[in-house]
Amino acid sequence: MTDMTMTNTRATRLRRLNLAGGIITGLTVLGAIIWAFPLYWAVITSLKVEQDVLTPGIQLLPERWTLDNYIHVLTKTQAGIWYLNSLVTSLAVTVIVVLTSAAAGYAISQLRFPGRRLLWWLLLASFMVPIPALIVNHFVLMADFGLLNSWSGVVLPQLIAPVTVIIYKQFFDSVPKDFREAALMDGATQFQLFFRLYLPMNWGITTALAIITFIGAWNQFLWPFLAVTSESKMNITVGITQVYDAFGVRYARDLATAILAGLPLAILYLVFQRRVTQAIMLTAGIKG
């Protein structure tokens, strides 16, 4: 084969590759547009004047731009309080879940005590029970404790997180025992081992789990919806349904509320994208 023919063959092959790559890219872009369009539509609609929302035809850009819908939601509803409620309850859930799960994971992984295996099996078994199946029990329990319409009432049932315990146990299992023994020889107590060795050595997994727990807690709807009836104790996810109820179907305003509700999570996701992906992969691995 001459040099010229070889060059031609290579060029043809490259052209074919380019074509295939182009088609795949095109399809991906199309998929992204289809996926992102409702989001775009929501943002654009929230920036329209209410009267312009239901005009015939598709307006890809508003005729009249306005921030009134956002101003209304932020000033005329209790959105600020709902944000605060969401923030407090989500942060509480995150901190308590991460700390207790790490401690439980450490105990099951590293300590030898009677009933350790039984505890592990119970944990695995509890993981098989879907949380919605327990929701009536949770409601009765919280009502008995007088914790409905309170932050504690929203937080407590969300602290059941066997998946995070399992993940921590697995990570602590994989820490080479030499580290533990070296620290024991250095005079470390169990608390020092936990706080100064095992937790810092697994810092990546802690941040990943904290972010995904926070997102989960922020997005919670069913339980906060049942546990809270007082508007001043509602989370943002529940609160936005009140906007709908109070004003009837006002699409621009409803969508502005929805966007405001999801905005903190979107920012959180953008900042910690890699950690969130890592956490999703970890939990998916466990659940799979």
Partner 1 sequence: MAGVNLENIVKRFGAVEVIRGLNLNIPDGSFTALLGASGCGKSTLLRMIAGLEETTDGTIRIGETDVTHELPAKRGVAMVFQSYALYPHLTVEQNICFSLSLAGVSKAEQKTHAARVSKLLQLDQLLDRRPAQLSGGQRQRVAIGRALVRDPKVFLFDEPLSNLDALLRVQMRLELAKLHQELGTTMVYVTHDQVEAMTLADQIVVLEKGVIQQVGSPLTLYNAPINRYVAGFIGSPAMNFLAGDASLGGTPLSIQLQGGGTVQAKVNAQPTQPNVEVGIRPEHVRIVAPGAGHLPGTVSVIEQLGNTSYVYLDTPAGPMIVEADPTQSHPAGSQVGLDLDMAHLHVFDQSGRSLSVTV
Residues of this chain that interact with partner 1 (CB under 8 A) are 176, 178-179, 181-188, 192, 196-197, 200-201, 203
Asked whether the CA dihedral 83, 84, 87, 93 is positive or negative, the reply is negative
**Amino acid of residue 150:** S
Measured from the CB atom, the residue of 30 and 201 that comes closer to partner 1 is 201
Least distance in angstroms from the C-beta of 109 to partner 1: 18
Measured from the CB atom, the residue of 65 and 179 that comes closer to partner 1 is 179
Least distance in angstroms from the C-beta of 196 to partner 1: 8
Least distance in angstroms from the C-beta of 52 to partner 1: 56
Least distance in angstroms from the C-beta of 160 to partner 1: 30
Least distance in angstroms from the C-beta of 183 to partner 1: 7
Measured from the CB atom, the residue of 16 and 196 that comes closer to partner 1 is 196
What crossing angle do the helices spanning 236-247 and 79-110 adopt, rounded to 10°?
150
Measured from the CB atom, the residue of 37 and 179 that comes closer to partner 1 is 179
Measured from the CB atom, the residue of 189 and 229 that comes closer to partner 1 is 189
Measured from the CB atom, the residue of 63 and 178 that comes closer to partner 1 is 178
Least distance in angstroms from the C-beta of 261 to partner 1: 37
Measured from the CB atom, the residue of 10 and 196 that comes closer to partner 1 is 196
Least distance in angstroms from the C-beta of 100 to partner 1: 22
**Amino acid of residue 97:** V
